[in-house]
Structure 1
Amino acid sequence: MIRTRSALPAVVAVAVAVAAALALGGCKAGSSGSSGAPAGKAPHGSALAAADALTVKGRAPKTGYARKEFGSAWSDTDHNHCPTRDDVLKRDLRDVRYKSGDCQVASGTLVKDPYTGTTITFVRGHSKVDIDHVVALSDAWQKGAQQWDRTKRTALANDPLNLLAVDSSTNRSKGDGDTATWLPAYKPSRCGYVARQVAVKKKYALWVTSAEKNAMKRVLSGCPSEKLPTG
């Protein structure tokens, strides 16, 4: 009996300590993060919030897809008298030199390619740099674009928001993969890459598959404050 009475205060003390620890833990779980949003909720204006709002449907057949359905390659849709390809090269390369005037890019350097993290020298006609459609045109075709007119498809194909200068061999291995099937090997680029795909799909009201949406949210959950790119 003496042992029982002397042990009771210790048991009570432990119980109080555990309760206090749980209370503190609960406060931390419910507190706001650096984004100012409650834990578990995507910050307003973030790519994660936009991904969560994308429409989910199944992938439509690829029947009828052809590159020409998105207009001629690298049209001058912004009417600056330069093809879209050169506009993107000027935007993404450093130390740019021109073949003539200030339009046709002759050479430059792609510093830290977003797909491989390497630095690539661009020389026109001997290039290892491609301009990638972040949302592949055939992927877009199967997720809403087949229902559009040619003007809207041409706009998507030439929208700088949907275009990146990247390593050519990696771009070709990507094919028409979406977030569920392909991500850049260079991990520091993944948040920005997925955020750009989300931005394009939101802008053009393209849908996503369930697997694709889950993959987008999985990547962006690791960078919940990643902003939605604009273009």
Structure 2
Amino acid sequence: MARAAVPGRLGWKVATVAQARWETPSARTLVLDIPDWPGHLPGQHVDVRLTAPDGYSAQRSYSIASSWREDGKVELTVQRVEDGEVSSYLDDVLATGQQIEVRGPVGGWFVWRAAPPPVLLVAGGSGVVPLMAMIRARGDVRGKQPFRLIYSVRTPQDVLYADELQRRVRDDPGLDVHFVYTRKAPDGWPEAPGRIGVPTLNTHGWPPDFAPDVFVCGPTPFVEAAANILVALGHDAGKIRTERFGGTS
């Protein structure tokens, strides 16, 4: 997921692509080897800077997909944006063994810290990336906090981490995942394609009385709509954390 870059005091580091894999035909995960990586919290992101031989530089920010790790390995899942100069390079050009500059980790508000309350994750498209880091972190520590992910995506072919999510629902007790397909649903799917609305969040989210920690991430209109519905359903606005992105590429 790309967002506008966030300036900070952290220094730039050279990251080497250790592995790369396709999540969907238009989204690729890069496993970066970053020397002296301090570790990160699930939900944080990094700035990525590309510099051409002529000195031209482009910078974007990408959510970290991997759990809290201190082994110097950081995973970024990059969704290709049409005509996007950075996302297209990261997905289609950058090869294993090549290097890019990164800065981070950045952010301290949209993070999960293994707190006791149940957690509701609401994702729109590639907004699932930082939420997947939270799911992975919970699995790593065998957390007992009940997690529910409501994941809105265009078609089944656009689902990021499809196999892993299926495996984690099976193997990580207390994790539930519900998909909302906006354009095309799988054959036999019980719901017609459509956007997230009151019935979805009311049925597949947590009741407000449970006082869940809520994380909503996706395009700005999606995030605003979901957050407004949750508040209307009675959720504490102070417990709803949002992360949004627009057309950065």
- Indicate the structure whose relative CO is greater, using CA pairs within 8 Å and at least 6 residues apart: 1
Normalising by structure 2, what TM-score?
Answer: 0.28
Bigger strand fraction: 2
Normalising by structure 1, what TM-score?
Answer: 0.30
Higher Cα radius of gyration: 1
Bigger helix fraction: 1
